[in-house]
């Protein structure tokens, strides 16, 4: 920029400001005169009705009474010049001291002059109020020109202040009129019906996902204690964080074969009818890669066949199952040959035990049920399905899966959650039932096809899914790119904390959406004329992303962008409420 440019701009600005101030003063003066006129004229009219010796009082007499230049200039003595009419009253004197004049005029008119004079002075003082208008005029235009460059929102997703979002939510809560306490993040209250349209929390490690989830869990538990709504919480916990903060040994359940406190369980508890063999086998054997699907389908068939065999043979302990599938192929095949024809279709996959195909399939079968090794001595009557069906059962279920060993139990945990979700989906509709699924690090599980169903139709069952993950990448890997979008879109409420991964930031920027605004742009023309440069404003319609990817990458810890569909996008602070740990996060059991 050249040196004179700022000078010209400054001068142009100064000139415009002076112009604006002058205009405000002109308005002020005009208004003052008008005010004075209306305040003073009635009093003056009254004076004109007064007479002295039968002669009406004149305006020039009032002027002489009120304004004396000699007096103002401190000339002694200050005199008043009398006209011929007045000279008659004052015995022919041509001029008299102003003090005498005032004295006699008031004496003869019963103080009418003094009163009018006082009223004039009051009117004069009051008329200065006119300048508040000048001030207002200035403020109005200063403010207007400051806002002039702001964008005007037309359509799309708008960013609103958190107070406004909170207000809207509170109004919705009021309209809903449930007598049940609402879940809230600070002042942001979640309407009861919105719970079943699900929550997604995304954020890098240490940004506050856990802090947010813990606050929600605590409030749900408090609500459970005071208002019987048949609520359950199913928590998937990779760190034992939820167990340590929320597990109540007197009424909750831990499901984790490595933990002393775990319930006893048996997979046959989940088989209630013939089709369940298929469902269970399918749930355990989902391919991680579509290219491997054939192999996983074969493994699934073999596993199902084995289950049917075990059931028919009455060998239904965990040990039976583990030992059966640990056999070598040859023996397994021989035993299965004994099945009825309709049940042994899958034998063809392992018909030739010496081939690679058979070996591959068996290794897949075994890989997914490794965890049975740790279930052999903890058979028990617990059934995930019955737990969900039992509306009187208000226990929370902790699906613990300590990170160090999480690979071993990944199939079991995926299976357990899948089974629970399926059972939830088969419950009768009940809008005010609540089954919360708190799934931290959802990306650490295999694909849960049932989860997409629960997201879309779970509301009628009262299911509320609260998912947390570090990024979208793992979800895309597990569910596929297009499914990841569906996945994201099915969460009505999103809390987005700081995102480190650029792809996720880009994904979110796109997903949050665009807005159309009218943008005003200032332009300047430089001239050398004595009036300096001039300015102009132009308007353009623009479509832009509401939030840029980089904005997600710079969110401080314990802050979030919150998006609630149909309510708006805002910025929220997660309250710094941390709960103490009351229980061991994990108690490794001893193995014989």
Ligand X SMILES: Nc1ncnc2c1ncn2[C@@H]1O[C@H](COP(=O)(O)OP(=O)(O)OP(=O)(O)O)[C@@H](O)[C@H]1O
Q: Closest by alpha carbon to 89, among 63, 71, 107, 77? A: 107
Choosing among ligand X, Mg ion, none, which partner's interface includes residue 211 (Cβ < 5 to 8 Å by kind)? Answer: ligand X
Q: How far is the CB of 505 from Mg ion (least distance, A)?
A: 19
Looking at 76, 179, 205, 290, which residue binds ligand X (CB under 6 A)? 205
**Beta carbon nearer to ligand X, 127 or 493:** 493
With CB under 5 A as the contact rule, which of the stretches 182-190, 203-211, 376-384, 572-580 interacts with Mg ion? 203-211
With CB under 6 A as the contact rule, which of the stretches 109-117, 204-212, 381-389, 521-529 interacts with ligand X? 204-212
Residues 468-497 that bind ligand X (CB under 6 A): 470
Residue 66 contacts ligand X per CB under 6 A = no
**Beta carbon nearer to ligand X, 470 or 570:** 470
Residue 210 contacts ligand X per CB under 6 A = yes
Looking at 98, 211, 451, 562, which residue binds ligand X (CB under 6 A)? 211
With CB under 6 A as the contact rule, which of the stretches 8-16, 170-178, 198-206, 344-352 interacts with ligand X? 198-206
- Which residues lie closer than 8 Å to 218 by C-beta, 6 or more apart? 245, 246, 579
Q: Coil, strand, or helix at residue 449?
A: helix
Q: How far lies 207's CA from each of 143, 199, 495, 549, in Å?
A: 39, 17, 11, 17
**Beta carbon nearer to ligand X, 320 or 440:** 440
**Beta carbon nearer to ligand X, 275 or 580:** 580
**Beta carbon nearer to ligand X, 488 or 579:** 579
Rounded Cα distance, 299 and 282, in Å: 10
For residue 373, report the phi and psi dihedrals to the nearest 5 degrees: -50, -35
Looking at 28, 191, 203, 306, which residue binds ligand X (CB under 6 A)? 203
Give, for 4, the enclosing helix (H) or strand (E).
helix 3-48
**Beta carbon nearer to ligand X, 130 or 442:** 442
Rounded Cα distance, 170 and 164, in Å: 10
Please name the residue that has the structure tokens 């007096």.
Answer: 71
Query: What ranges make up the beta strands (E) of 19-163?
Result: 51-52, 55-56, 79-81, 95-97, 152-156
Q: How far is the CB of 228 from Mg ion (least distance, A)?
A: 30
Residue 203 contacts Mg ion per CB under 5 A = no
Measured CA angle at 397 (ends 391, 399), to 5 deg: 145
Choosing among Mg ion, ligand X, none, which partner's interface includes residue 207 (Cβ < 5 to 8 Å by kind)? Answer: ligand X
Residue 206 contacts ligand X per CB under 6 A = yes
Q: How far lies 413's CA from each of 63, 387, 401, 417, in Å?
A: 101, 16, 8, 6
Looking at 32, 127, 207, 396, which residue binds ligand X (CB under 6 A)? 207
Choosing among ligand X, Mg ion, none, which partner's interface includes residue 102 (Cβ < 5 to 8 Å by kind)? Answer: none
**Beta carbon nearer to ligand X, 209 or 232:** 209
Rounded Cα distance, 471 and 140, in Å: 47
**Beta carbon nearer to Mg ion, 210 or 532:** 210
**Beta carbon nearer to Mg ion, 209 or 368:** 209
- Letter string b/e over residues 528-551, b meaning 16 or more CB atoms within 10 A of that residue's CB: eeeebbeeeeeeeeeeebbbebeb
The alpha carbon dihedral of 147, 153, 158, 162 has a sign of positive
Looking at 209, 232, 245, 246, which residue binds ligand X (CB under 6 A)? 209
Residue 532 contacts ligand X per CB under 6 A = no
Rounded Cα distance, 281 and 297, in Å: 9
Residues 536-575 that bind ligand X (CB under 6 A): 557-558
Q: How far lies 212's CA from each of 180, 242, 504, in Å?
A: 21, 12, 20
Looking at 208, 411, 532, 568, which residue binds ligand X (CB under 6 A)? 208
Residue 210 contacts Mg ion per CB under 5 A = yes
**Beta carbon nearer to ligand X, 345 or 556:** 556
Site for ligand X (CB under 6 A): how many residues? 12
Rounded Cα distance, 238 and 441, in Å: 7
Site for Mg ion (CB under 5 A): how many residues? 2
Residue 320 in contact with residue 267, Cβ under 8 Å? Answer: no
Residue 443 contacts Mg ion per CB under 5 A = no
Binding site for Mg ion (CB under 5 A): 209-210
Binding site for ligand X (CB under 6 A): 203, 205-211, 470, 557-558, 578
């Amino acid at each position: 920029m050249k040196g004179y440019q700022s000078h010209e701009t400054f001068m142009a600005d100064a000139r415009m400001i002076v112009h604006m101030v002058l205009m405000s003063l002109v308005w002020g003066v005009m208004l003052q005169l008008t005010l004075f006129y209306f305040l003073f004229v009635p009093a003056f009219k009254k004076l004109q009705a007064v007479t002295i010796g039968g002669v009406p009082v004149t305006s020039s007499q009032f002027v002489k009474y009120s304004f004396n230049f000699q007096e103002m200039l401190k000339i002694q003595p200050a005199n008043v010049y009398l006209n011929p009419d007045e000279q008659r009253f004052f015995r022919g004197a041509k001029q008299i001291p102003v003090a005498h004049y005032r004295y006699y005029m008031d004496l003869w008119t019963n103080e009418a002059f003094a009163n009018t004079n006082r009223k004039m002075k009051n009117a004069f003082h009051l008329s200065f109020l006119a300048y508040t208008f000048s001030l207002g005029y200035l403020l109005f235009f200063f403010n207007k020109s400051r806002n002039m460059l702001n964008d005007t929102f037309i359509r799309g997703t708008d960013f609103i202040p958190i107070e406004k979002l909170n207000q809207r939510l509170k109004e919705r809560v009021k309209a809903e009129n449930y007598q049940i306490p609402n879940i809230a993040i600070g002042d942001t209250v979640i309407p009861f019906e919105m719970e079943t349209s699900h929550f997604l929390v995304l954020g890098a490690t240490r940004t506050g996902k856990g802090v947010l989830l813990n606050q929600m869990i605590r409030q749900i538990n408090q609500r459970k204690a005071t208002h019987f709504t048949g609520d359950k919480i199913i928590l998937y916990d990779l760190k034992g964080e939820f167990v340590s903060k929320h597990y109540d040994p007197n009424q909750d359940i831990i499901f984790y074969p490595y933990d002393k406190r775990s319930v006893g369980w048996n997979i046959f508890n989940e088989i209630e009818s013939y089709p369940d063999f298929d469902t269970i086998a399918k749930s355990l054997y989902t391919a991680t890669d579509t290219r491997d699907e054939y192999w996983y389908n074969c493994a699934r068939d073999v596993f199902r066949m084995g289950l049917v065999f075990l059931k028919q043979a009455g060998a239904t302990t965990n040990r039976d199952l583990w030992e059966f599938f640990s056999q070598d192929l040859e023996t397994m095949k021989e035993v299965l040959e004994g099945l009825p024809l309709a049940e042994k279709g899958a034998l063809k996959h392992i018909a030739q035990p010496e081939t690679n195909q058979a070996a591959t399939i068996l290794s897949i079968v075994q890989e997914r049920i490794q965890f049975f090794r740790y279930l052999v001595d903890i058979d028990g009557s617990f059934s995930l399905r019955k737990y969900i069906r039992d509306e009187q059962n208000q226990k929370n279920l902790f699906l613990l899966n300590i990170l160090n060993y999480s690979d071993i139990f990944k199939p079991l945990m995926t299976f357990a959650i899948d089974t629970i979700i399926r059972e939830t989906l088969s419950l009768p509709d009940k809008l005010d039932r609540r089954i919360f699924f708190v799934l931290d690090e959802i990306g650490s599980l295999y694909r849960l096809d049932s989860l997409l169903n629960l997201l879309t139709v779970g509301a009628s069952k009262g299911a509320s899914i609260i998912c947390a993950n570090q990024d979208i990448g793992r979800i895309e890997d597990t569910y596929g790119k297009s499914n990841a979008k569906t996945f994201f879109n099915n969460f009505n409420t999103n809390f987005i904390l700081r995102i480190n991964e650029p792809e996720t930031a880009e994904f979110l920027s796109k997903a949050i959406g665009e807005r159309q605004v009218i943008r005003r742009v200032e332009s300047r023309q430089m001239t050398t004329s004595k009036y300096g440069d001039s300015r102009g404003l132009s308007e353009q319609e623009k479509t832009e992303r509401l939030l840029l990817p980089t904005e997600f990458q710079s969110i401080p810890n314990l802050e979030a962008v919150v998006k609630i569909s149909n309510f708006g996008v805002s910025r929220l602070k997660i309250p710094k409420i941390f709960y103490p740990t009351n229980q061991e996060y994990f108690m490794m059991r001893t193995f014989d």
